[in-house]
Structure 1
Amino acid sequence: MNSTQEKLSIREKVGYSLGDFAANLIFQTLVTFLAFFYTDVYRIPAATAATVIFVVGLLGAFVFTPVMGLVADRTRTRWGKFRPWILWTAIPFGLLSLAAFSTPDLGEHGKVAYALGSYVLLMLVYVANNLPYSALSGVLTGSMAQRNSLSSYRFVAVMIAQFIIQVLLLPLVLILGGGDKARGFEHTMALFAVVGTVFFIITFLTTRERVVPPPEQATSIRQDLADLARNRPWLVMLALTVLVFINLALKGGMYIYYFKYYLDPLQLERFLDGIGFERGVAGLNAALAGMGLAGFQWPSDAPTSAFSLFSAGGIIFMIIGIGFSRPLADRFGKRDVFGGALLVSTLCLLAFWFFPPGAIGLVMLAYILHGFFYGITTPLLWAMIADVADYSEWKNNRRATAIIFSAMLCGLKLGLSIGGALVAGILAAYGYDAGAAVQAPQVVQGIRLSVSLYCSIPFLLGVALLFLYEIDRHMEARIEQELGLRRVAAA
């Protein structure tokens, strides 16, 4: 059976998806909590934290990622090009994740140096792990329909990891640290490191590379880069990736401040009590105490509980949205479904500007609707990037999967760097004081703008960019058919 017809087993799809679960335990923590960790836990000034996040992100995007793409495409082992990198980086990834969220007392300048050094090393090993992992999705099968299915499995795992981080991480930090956030982050990251290492190994053991370049294909860095420059769908996807991840980092990093400083704490308590959340937590804590686990108690402050519930609702509806992604894409094409769903999800974000501090129910409703429509797009982004690799092979008769994905991961890291730096930078620009229990009105206004207007701009630009993306449903079918015939002939 050729690679275009190859149907992936559920075992292989689940095994592959566990790798993204492992990576996202760390990735989602970086996106959502790194700025908060630096400013409120490690006590680095907000402007300095913004600089660290931005500089390391640029280093990852424009140095580590392109170099790793060239290296991965030229890797030759009995396990393939990409699978061995997942194995080789499994343990270092876990150890460096723990180091990046540790808080040694090194003085003001020493803290900054430690944060910079540990984040640089974590970014390096993240690239060496995640770029080959992402490229692996393009060589497990040549079937675009199977890639849609694989992406759906993968992003269910991503959403589960995101659920754990956004819903359970702060309670876990408080529980495992006994109220000490610094110690709690260290213990939590140690747990994630062990789980992640095991799951990376499972991914390595359960997957197989099937789409390989022709044996006679010559490898040339110059030719690889020239192919990219002529590939308009790649250019569109690169810009789109940057914009999507600016949004994710900006809104993800700012929500915790939105709950802590904008929403009315009294209304949060009333809302939680009204839906029975507090009674449920009280029952859970009583059950844990009855089992002798008195130390494992859900934190009692309303913003933490409401933020966890808010995140949970969004992620659950993202997972539901993912379930609609494949059938919609098969019927209407990835491009059109992606653009339509992204536009509707953006309108839900813009609605945050109109909500007063006491409108807790409306905040929750808007976010779960945003989660549903954004969930439809999440598997499609990476499936479209794999399609761009096929497009490049179709146009140029040369396959360079990793360089395609490395360019996209450059965009991902650039987007995360800009978005993450914007979180700390906006806070600094509006005068945020990490030691203040109540922030100045202009700070609260900056937080409100960030989760509504500012984070909507990248998505709206992304929707506009898709009008330049030429791989529609009909071209997808043509590319898959013609590449399948070529591979059969070559075999």
Structure 2
Amino acid sequence: MVVCALKERVLAETPSDRIGLGEKLGYGVGDLAAGLILNFFGFFLLYYFVDLGGLAPAAIGLMLLLTKLIDAITDPMMGAIADRTRTRWGRYRPYLLFGPLPLGFAIVLIFSAPDDLGNTALLIWAYVTYTLAMLAFTAVNVPYGGLLGVISPSSSQRSNVTAFRMLFSALGGILVGALGTTLVRELGGGDEKLGILLTMSCIAAVSVFALLTTFATTKERIPPTETNGSLRGDVGVLIRTGPWIAVAIAAILGVTAIAARAGTAPFFFKYVAGDDGSPVFLFFDRAALFLTALAFGQVAGVLIGYAAQRRFEKSHLLMAAGMLKMAMIAVFYFLPLDAVWPQTGVQFFVGIGFGMLMVLSFSMFTDIAEFIDWKSGRQMTALVVAASVFGVKAGVGLGSAIPGFALSLTGFDANAEQSEAAVLGIQLAFAIIPAAVMIPAAFTLIFYGINRRVLATVESELAARRSRIA
């Protein structure tokens, strides 16, 4: 039965469904923007406002949580709007033409706070500018994710394109890890706040160019239906779809673990490991090695996940990726604090688990969109894929909030020797909590339910339905 279904799936894939290398690269480079922005936020945002700005860690942690409540509303809304957009450029591509410039301006604005602001004014600045940046990010990245769902009706082609997307996302992590702290140090000339601002400005310019490239090089191949139903009806179908809930939870918790480690890393290396920021290998300091190892591991994980999904169920691979992350974070915790290279090697394997999680979960979201279309007749690709954008942003927000609250609750004192309780708080946010959240992330995938046989049936029947409409 499985063999027959897979044969039907291959026969349903026509030459016009296939994506050329140029378009794969063009789509993938768009996620370089998200990779650069979110990795930079994950490492520097809390540090900028707490260690350099003097704000309470809990205040920034609360900001990151509250903005996710806004995202919980705006991300699905943006998905529904994009699904209903009809222009000569398509449903999703117009947002990649008009959205990148506002996004670039908004992310730079976060780190442009005047030096003479008091704590209250700086906190307001943080809340307002970060909220604006996340709204601009939503307006671009939800349609960007929706575009993946209509770039081809073939799951194998979408998985292929997803791999390119995740490779460019990982490249963003590599660039931030390898060059982030160095650029901040060199561009700032000893002024870390200035260095962070100028580095963010470079990231904004690259991000705008990358997203415009995606607009110029991609095509939407699945035509929209004449009517798309009501927004309330779409949301009702979505929240009753078990596979969507399972993957959304796994994605949120998987990113939470990585973001909590990244947000705590500056504090871990400075206050626990006693690192002074000096290069330990070429121009890499310990934090740069930590981030770069994660990003290179992510690249390896993307390649492993993409290759393995041809033979194994995606949900099973995603569970294995989560368990690998949990195990490696635990190993890192028990290594000596001065074990630079063993820590770097273990972090590489954490990255493998993360890369597998990202490429598989994003591919599964587009499969879920096709499943819903087949089952209910509703085209709601961007609304479904909005969960992927929200999952990443929620994971980054929750993960970044964890160190904020942990530091505040355990008595962290910026630029001072830390108490045993404060060191414990850093370790909680850096290792113990990130490892623990991977357990429920893996458990939810038991309820995914869309295996390869089901997906083959979905694709063949949708292809027949669309050919009759055409």
TM-score (norm 1): 0.89
Please tell me the residue identity of whatever aligns with 1:80. Answer: G
- The question of 1:415 aligning with 2:426 is answered no
Q: Secondary structure at the match of 2:149?
A: coil
Q: For the structure 1 residues 51 and 162, does the alpha-carbon distance in structure 2 shift closer, same or farther, using more than 3 Å as the test?
A: same
Residue among 443, 463, 470 paired with 1:484: 463
Please tell me the residue identity of whatever aligns with 1:478. Answer: T
Aligned to 1:113: 124
Q: For 2:232 and 2:64, locate their aligned partners in 1 and report how far apart those are by CA, in whole Å.
A: 31
Q: For 1:40 and 1:20, locate their aligned partners in 2 and report how far apart those are by CA, in whole Å.
A: 29
Structure 1 contact 97–193 (Cα < 8 Å) conserved: yes
Deviation at 1:4, TM superposition (A): 6.4
Q: For 2:84 and 2:12, locate their aligned partners in 1 and report how far apart those are by CA, in whole Å.
A: 23
Q: For 1:399 and 1:83, locate their aligned partners in 2 and report how far apart those are by CA, in whole Å.
A: 17
Deviation at 1:29, TM superposition (A): 1.3
Q: Secondary structure at the match of 1:433?
A: coil
Residue among 79, 86, 91 paired with 1:69: 79
- The question of 1:238 aligning with 2:248 is answered yes
Aligned to 2:356: 376
Structure 2 contact 12–460 (Cα < 8 Å) conserved: no
Deviation at 1:120, TM superposition (A): 1.2
Alignment of 1:141-156 (within 5 A): 141-156=152-167
Q: For 1:319 and 1:129, locate their aligned partners in 2 and report how far apart those are by CA, in whole Å.
A: 24
Aligned to 2:147: 136
Aligned to 2:266: 256
TM-score (norm 2): 0.93
Deviation at 1:221, TM superposition (A): 1.3
Aligned to 1:340: 320
Q: Secondary structure at the match of 1:331?
A: coil
- The question of 1:206 aligning with 2:202 is answered no
- The question of 1:390 aligning with 2:401 is answered no
Please tell me the residue identity of whatever aligns with 2:414. Answer: A
Q: For 1:223 and 1:388, locate their aligned partners in 2 and report how far apart those are by CA, in whole Å.
A: 17
Alignment of 1:467-482 (within 5 A): 467-482=446-461
Residue among 22, 32, 35 paired with 1:21: 32
**Further displaced range: 68-77 or 362-371:** 362-371
Deviation at 1:373, TM superposition (A): 3.1
Structure 2 contact 325–435 (Cα < 8 Å) conserved: no
Please tell me the residue identity of whatever aligns with 2:353. Answer: F
Q: For 2:420 and 2:128, locate their aligned partners in 1 and report how far apart those are by CA, in whole Å.
A: 35
Q: For 1:119 and 1:150, locate their aligned partners in 2 and report how far apart those are by CA, in whole Å.
A: 30
Please tell me the residue identity of whatever aligns with 1:480. Answer: E
Please tell me the residue identity of whatever aligns with 1:450. Answer: A
Please tell me the residue identity of whatever aligns with 1:354. Answer: F
Residue among 451, 464, 467 paired with 2:443: 464
Please tell me the residue identity of whatever aligns with 1:468. Answer: F
Structure 1 contact 138–401 (Cα < 8 Å) conserved: yes
Structure 1 contact 18–200 (Cα < 8 Å) conserved: yes
Structure 2 contact 103–136 (Cα < 8 Å) conserved: yes
Q: For 2:232 and 2:294, locate their aligned partners in 1 and report how far apart those are by CA, in whole Å.
A: 44
Q: For the structure 1 residues 447 and 4, does the alpha-carbon distance in structure 2 shift closer, same or farther, using more than 3 Å as the test?
A: farther
Aligned to 2:6: none
Structure 1 contact 325–380 (Cα < 8 Å) conserved: yes
Deviation at 1:218, TM superposition (A): 4.0
Q: For 2:25 and 2:236, locate their aligned partners in 1 and report how far apart those are by CA, in whole Å.
A: 36
Q: For 2:223 and 2:41, locate their aligned partners in 1 and report how far apart those are by CA, in whole Å.
A: 34
Structure 2 contact 362–388 (Cα < 8 Å) conserved: no
**Aligned residue pairs, count:** 458
- The question of 1:449 aligning with 2:459 is answered no
Q: Secondary structure at the match of 1:357?
A: coil
Q: For 1:325 and 1:353, locate their aligned partners in 2 and report how far apart those are by CA, in whole Å.
A: 26
Please tell me the residue identity of whatever aligns with 2:241. Answer: N
Structure 1 contact 427–446 (Cα < 8 Å) conserved: yes
Aligned to 2:110: 100
- The question of 1:8 aligning with 2:51 is answered no
Q: Percent identity?
A: 30
Please tell me the residue identity of whatever aligns with 1:129. Answer: V
Deviation at 1:360, TM superposition (A): 2.7
Q: For 1:86 and 1:308, locate their aligned partners in 2 and report how far apart those are by CA, in whole Å.
A: 31
Uncovered stretches (5+) of structure 1, i.e. residues with no partner? 282-297, 299-303
Q: For the structure 1 residues 416 and 23, does the alpha-carbon distance in structure 2 shift closer, same or farther, using more than 3 Å as the test?
A: closer
Q: For 2:52 and 2:178, locate their aligned partners in 1 and report how far apart those are by CA, in whole Å.
A: 19
Q: Cα deviations across residues 80-126 of structure 1 (Å, max 9, x unaligned)?
A: 11100111111111111110112312222111111111111111101
Structure 1 contact 214–490 (Cα < 8 Å) conserved: no
Deviation at 1:20, TM superposition (A): 0.6
Q: Cα deviations across residues 338-360 of structure 1 (Å, max 9, x unaligned)?
A: 11122122111112332232333
Deviation at 1:361, TM superposition (A): 3.1
Residue among 59, 63, 88 paired with 1:78: 88
Q: For 1:253 and 1:237, locate their aligned partners in 2 and report how far apart those are by CA, in whole Å.
A: 24
Q: For 2:79 and 2:258, locate their aligned partners in 1 and report how far apart those are by CA, in whole Å.
A: 24
Q: For 1:310 and 1:417, locate their aligned partners in 2 and report how far apart those are by CA, in whole Å.
A: 20
Deviation at 1:320, TM superposition (A): 1.9
**Further displaced range: 426-435 or 413-422:** 413-422
Residue among 159, 162, 175 paired with 2:186: 175
Q: Cα deviations across residues 221-262 of structure 1 (Å, max 9, x unaligned)?
A: 122122113211112122222212221221121122221122
Residue among 69, 88, 98 paired with 1:58: 69
Q: For the structure 1 residues 218 and 124, does the alpha-carbon distance in structure 2 shift closer, same or farther, using more than 3 Å as the test?
A: closer
Deviation at 1:315, TM superposition (A): 1.7
Please tell me the residue identity of whatever aligns with 1:462. Answer: A
Structure 2 contact 38–396 (Cα < 8 Å) conserved: no
Alignment of 1:248-287 (within 5 A): 248-265=258-275, 272=280, 277=281, 281=282
Q: For 1:214 and 1:74, locate their aligned partners in 2 and report how far apart those are by CA, in whole Å.
A: 9
RMSD: 2.0
Q: For 1:3 and 1:214, locate their aligned partners in 2 and report how far apart those are by CA, in whole Å.
A: 20
Q: For 2:215 and 2:246, locate their aligned partners in 1 and report how far apart those are by CA, in whole Å.
A: 31
Aligned to 1:427: 407
